[in-house]
Homo-oligomer: A and B are copies of this chain.
């Protein structure tokens, strides 16, 4: 059975350092791990690679014999490392990303780290809801909550956004019931979307529970609602990635199980192969993966 190549890397480090403890430090693992990995390699190779003295490891003649080839592997690995540093230089150009305004804000918040990772790419982030800008090449990537039935658009699911009720931190609000969190709070002022945006997540859910009561404030996008909530204008259903990290807000009750929005990354089939577009796709996918607890309201 082929030895694990990485055990050879451990072997080389131990040969160089002479002790489990220093080799472990160099490798960034624990000393028992180095010991086990070398033992496994010796078993697989069927030869003793080190003389175990009480205070150090010394390569045996067998170990010495394998060192030359292991160093050759290291040389090749170092070449791969150098080449991969240069690979990012081929990923350059401008990438236009369009998302709803709340999601665009979320992306914008992470632009610094995206730019640090993809230094040769120039980002354009636009807040928009339409598909028009994809087919007319106004945007390279879209983040949307629905997947259009358009043949030449490829969709990749990014994750799910959870929603909850939020209020300003000093807004006086009692403890909502778990079963119907709005019922105990209907007398408070509520913020929501206007009639043209009744399709927005949480809007119908909220209206059903308000049972005919009018919204205190109506807006046409999340950021308006967000700012109004921060200003103490009332309660609002907001996406968790907006509400949770905002120290000026507090969450009122649990995540709303019935309100969520799947996020999809849309790209034109022809653009997908472009290195810079793919790099941004990967970075966004990674971002959603890492921020999943926040997006789902479980941070």
Q: Which residues of A contact B (CB under 8 A)?
A: 1-9, 28, 42-43, 45-48, 51, 60-62, 65-66, 69-70, 72-73, 75-77, 79-81, 83-84, 87-88, 90-91, 117, 273, 275, 278-279, 282, 286
Contact = CB atoms under 8 A, between A and B. Distances in A.
Contacts of A90: 61-62
Q: Is the interface of A mostly helix, strand, loop or mixed?
A: helix
A263 B196 CA distance: 83
Contact of A48 (B60, B282, B286): B282
A77 B46 contact: no
Nearest to A7: B6
B286 A77 contact: no
30 contacts: A2-B9, A2-B77, A3-B80, A3-B81, A5-B6, A5-B9, A5-B77, A6-B7, A8-B77, A8-B80, A42-B282, A45-B80, A45-B84, A46-B117, A47-B84, A47-B87, A60-B275, A62-B84, A62-B87, A65-B83, A66-B84, A69-B77, A69-B83, A72-B72, A72-B73, A72-B75, A72-B79, A73-B73, A73-B76, A73-B77
Contact of A87 (B46, B81, B87, B278): B46
B80 A76 contact: no
Contacts of A9: 2, 5
Given A72-B76, A76-B73, A66 B48 contact: no
Contacts of A79: 69, 72
Given A62-B84, A69-B76, A72-B75, 8 more contacts: A3-B80, A4-B6, A46-B117, A66-B83, A69-B80, A69-B83, A72-B76, A72-B79
Contact of A88 (B46, B60, B65): B46
Counting chain B CB atoms within 10 Å of each CB, the highest count among A2, A88, A279 belongs to: A2
A83 to B, nearest CB: 6
A91 B40 CA distance: 19
A43 B87 CA distance: 12
Contacts of A72: 72-73, 75-76, 79
A48 B80 contact: no
A61 B89 CA distance: 13
A7 to B, nearest CB: 8
Counting chain B CB atoms within 10 Å of each CB, the highest count among A5, A61, A282 belongs to: A5
A40 to B, nearest CB: 12
A279 B60 CA distance: 12
Contacts of A43: 286
Contact of A70 (B61, B62, B80, B87): B80
A-B pairs with lowest CB-CB distance, top 4: A47-B87, A45-B84, A72-B76, A5-B5
Contacts of A88: 46-47
Contacts of A4: 6
